[in-house]
Amino acid sequence: MFGWWFSRNFVSPSAPTLVPMVLSALFASYLWLLLDVALGMRVLRWLSSGDTLQTPVAFGLWGEISDRVRRLARSRERAVQQRDDRFQDFLAAMQASPNGVVLLDADLRIEWCNQSAQSHFGLDGTRDLLQHFGNLVRDPGFAAYLATGDFKGDVLMPGRASTSAKPVRLSVHMHPYGESRTLLLSRDVTAVEQAEAMRRDFVANVSHEIRTPLTVLSGFVETLQSLNLNEEERARYLQLMALQAERMQSLVSDLLTLSRLEGSPLPSAQEWVSMEPIFEQCRHEASELSRVLWGQPQGLEFHIAPDITVAGSVVELHSALLNLIGNAVRYTPEGKNIYVRWQAQADGGAEFTVRDEGVGIAAEQIPRLTERFYRVDRSRSRETGGTGLGLAIVKHVTQRHGAELSISSLPGQGSTFTIRFPASRVCLPKPSGLANLTDAA
């Protein structure tokens, strides 16, 4: 149309009919070019904006290009989001790890650390970023480990919260990775170290406790076989042999008790035990032990509140209470007193206390008292016949009854052992007025 109009007004009428067609094609091409450039600019502006929700052109070649770019961009966004989610999950997993994790750069400066590492080394995840790790952790053993640059093994060091009464031991291992970066892993091995110490004590003490009486028995048997003894000497040797056999029997009995406590179901919470007969039996047995050890009973004072029952095992409760009272007898010198108290608590629970006027215990030794075979004074324990398992038995019985064992002591001023039973395990006597009303009803 444009070619016809243009040829009629500006071109000679005698011009060939091809001219309008060419002019029309050129004009149409020009218009198409302008439109294409406009659409292209629109697509460029869209790409610059970063908006991938919708395409700027919905038709033609630019529309197809825009749609494909949008789909590719959305796909990459999803991939980036998935990678970011996986990275956050990875960081969350490291954050939840009970082991400490610290990421260090090429200069051993902190790039990231989890909560466990902050607790192990006393770090602050925000304040200590980009601080040199060696400036914050100044343990000599770790400093030597860091200086060698040989990270094939680990190094043991005390944790930031370690004290003499409650030691904390850490295993620290550094692993180089990436471009001169270092991954530092820390692990609390306090329980492992304590278990290893207990194992060593167990083997050493069991060996000694069994070997000593066996040696004595063997010597006496050889004496009886080789020498012609009179009746008095023979009776004396046989009595000593019986004491050594009794010592071994006590050790085996305590070992079997511990094994039974560790492997048996928890005591029933429905079986109620009257405590007064148990205390009466403990009083008798403690008096006999005091007479055997010291020649005469010590000052044993029992203050027992009546009618308080405990849900649990009568055998286990008797074993725990007798062990505590027996320990007080063994470690309280002649002429000193031992006080045993059983009373109700305001919260509905009950408390058993043994207080002695004995030699006392140093503060650093108290945390280890309930370990098997741990002794404050080994020579004194053997003289008084202890097996070193009594407080371990007390700890297990206490835990199995939902109770709590606490120990306080000062050297030279005696010790106090307390077992607190929760209200859920205790039945207290009813007040007299309430009891009368119940009887009347």
Instruction: List, for residues 101-136, the tens digit of each pLDDT value.
Output: 999 999 999 999 999 999 999 998 888 889 999 899
CA distance 164 to 167: 6
Q: Dihedrals φ, ψ of 387, to 5°?
A: -95, -10
Indicate if 303 and 409 belong to the same structural domain: yes
Indicate if 305 and 434 belong to the same structural domain: yes
Backbone angle region of 307, left / alpha / beta, with phi > 0 → left and psi within -120 to 50 → alpha? left
Other C-beta atoms closer than 10 Å to the C-beta of 360 total 15
Indicate if 149 and 127 belong to the same structural domain: yes
Kindly state the DSSP code that residue 99 receives in the 8-state scheme. S
C-alpha to C-alpha distances, 18 to 8, 14, 28, 207, nearest whole angstrom? 13, 12, 15, 121
Using the 3D structure, point to which of 215, 241, 264 is the last residue of a domain. 264
Please give the tally of structural domains in the chain.
4
Task: Kindly report the average pLDDT of the chain as a whole number.
Answer: 81
Instruction: List, for residues 379-426, the tens digit of each pLDDT value.
Output: 555 555 567 788 999 999 999 999 999 999 988 889 999 999 999 999
Indicate if 47 and 110 belong to the same structural domain: no
Give every strand in the sheet of 100-104, ordered side by side: 110-113, 100-104, 181-188, 169-177, 155-158
Indicate if 359 and 435 belong to the same structural domain: yes
Indicate if 304 and 408 belong to the same structural domain: yes
Instruction: List, for residues 208-252, the tens digit of each pLDDT value.
Output: 777 777 888 888 888 888 888 788 888 888 888 888 888 788 788
Classify residue 30 as exposed, middle or buried by CB count within 10 Å of its CB (0-12, 13-18, 19+): exposed
Q: What is the largest CA-CA distance in the chain?
A: 165
Using the 3D structure, point to which of 169, 188, 207 is the last residue of a domain. 188
Give every strand in the sheet of 350-356, ordered side by side: 299-304, 337-344, 350-356, 414-421, 404-410
Using the 3D structure, point to which of 153, 171, 188 is the last residue of a domain. 188
Backbone angle region of 296, left / alpha / beta, with phi > 0 → left and psi within -120 to 50 → alpha? beta
Indicate if 408 and 286 belong to the same structural domain: yes
Indicate if 247 and 134 belong to the same structural domain: no
For residue 216, the domain's CATH number is: 1.10.287.130
CA distance 89 to 248: 57
First to last CA, the chain: 118
Q: Is the pTM of this model over 0.75?
A: no
Domain that includes residue 107, residue range: 97-188
Give the pLDDT mean for 94-100.
87
Indicate if 39 and 177 belong to the same structural domain: no
What is the SS3 assignment for 61?
helix
pLDDT of residue 14: 53
Nearest to 368 by CA among 158, 193, 155: 193
Indicate if 286 and 420 belong to the same structural domain: yes
For residue 276, the domain's CATH number is: 3.30.565.10
Indicate if 69 and 105 belong to the same structural domain: no
Indicate if 296 and 421 belong to the same structural domain: yes
